[in-house]
Homo-oligomer: A and B are copies of this chain.
Amino acid sequence: MEYWFTENQAAGLRVSIQVEGVLERCKTPYQEAVVSRTARFGGMLTLDNVIQTTERDEFMYHEMICHVPMCSHPAPRRALVVGGGDGGSVREILKHPVERVDLVEIDEKVLDLARRNLPSISCKLDDPRVTVTIGDGIEFVKSANDAYDVIVVDSTDPVGPAVGLFGEEFLRAIKRALRGDGLFVAQTGSPFYFPDEVGRVFGCVKGIFPKSGVYLGCVPTYPGGMWSYTIGSMAHEFTTPAGGRTVPGTKYYSPEIHRAAFRLPPFVERILEGDAD
């Protein structure tokens, strides 16, 4: 007998992944969180039936969401991850010479599940440079001022509980929480399946930050494989690594990929100009 997990990735589109077993599942106050064992993808974390991360392809997502902003800053010392309870973003940020990484995750159970079942992703959550706060990312960011060189919004998609993480009020709080030359990045979904959302968030970021942009990367288990990240910067250029900065041992990111990721297909450029089909 075969078991298949199926996600409704967009209207009229489903992706199914064969599952060998459930490692752990729980109903949290916020969502249903499950870690499954799969043959193709290793361990897989789903929240409310949406794939968040798999051991096999998470490097593409976590390297791109972290190293582009981290390498755009000439000397990032303090970073904040909003969401990201699986620990993958923290792991990547710690490849840079940072002094401190804060992580604020609303759902403690996600951290627990990842620690127990996804060690290759969560392995750095207990690093001494990391401070984990369980709480609302919006409130946490509002209480911070001039505090971070880099903020990574590693959230679920802009529907449901995370919708506030893509709104103007939160983006203004992010700006205040950044140091004077800080940068922030958020995952902003599929430009092919959800062009309106990508265009809307980019429009907000563009109106708030001195510099803004969108870059693309691939994540095979996310809808359509093509994924967008929106970046807002207080001062630094971000389309090329600062001063030849690089990261050892990456599998997706490289300085060349950093630059190439900002080259957008014309159909994506049109979305950013507010001209989505």
Chain A residues within CB distance 8 Å of chain B: 4, 6, 10-18, 38-41, 57, 59-60, 190, 192-193, 216, 218-220, 223-226, 250-254, 256-257, 259-261, 263-267
Contacts and interface: CB of A to CB of B under 8 A. Distances in A.
Contacts of A250: 266
14 contacts: A4-B14, A12-B17, A12-B38, A12-B40, A12-B41, A13-B16, A190-B220, A192-B218, A216-B218, A220-B225, A251-B265, A251-B267, A257-B263, A260-B260
Given A192-B57, A263-B259, A266-B254, A40 B15 contact: no
Nearest to A10: B40
Contacts of A216: 218
Given A225-B218, A250-B266, A265-B254, A39 B15 contact: no
Contacts of A257: 263-265
> How often does this chain occur in the complex, in copies?
2
A68 to B, nearest CB: 13
Contact of A220 (B16, B192, B260): B192
A253 B224 contact: no
Contacts of A265: 60, 251-254, 257
Contact of A251 (B39, B224, B266): B266
A43 to B, nearest CB: 14
A146 to B, nearest CB: 35
Give the 6 A-B residue pairs with the shortest CB-CB distance, closest first. A225-B225, A12-B40, A220-B224, A260-B260, A260-B263, A12-B18
- A11, A57, A59, A265 — most chain B CB neighbours (10 Å): A265
A271 to B, nearest CB: 11
Nearest to A263: B260
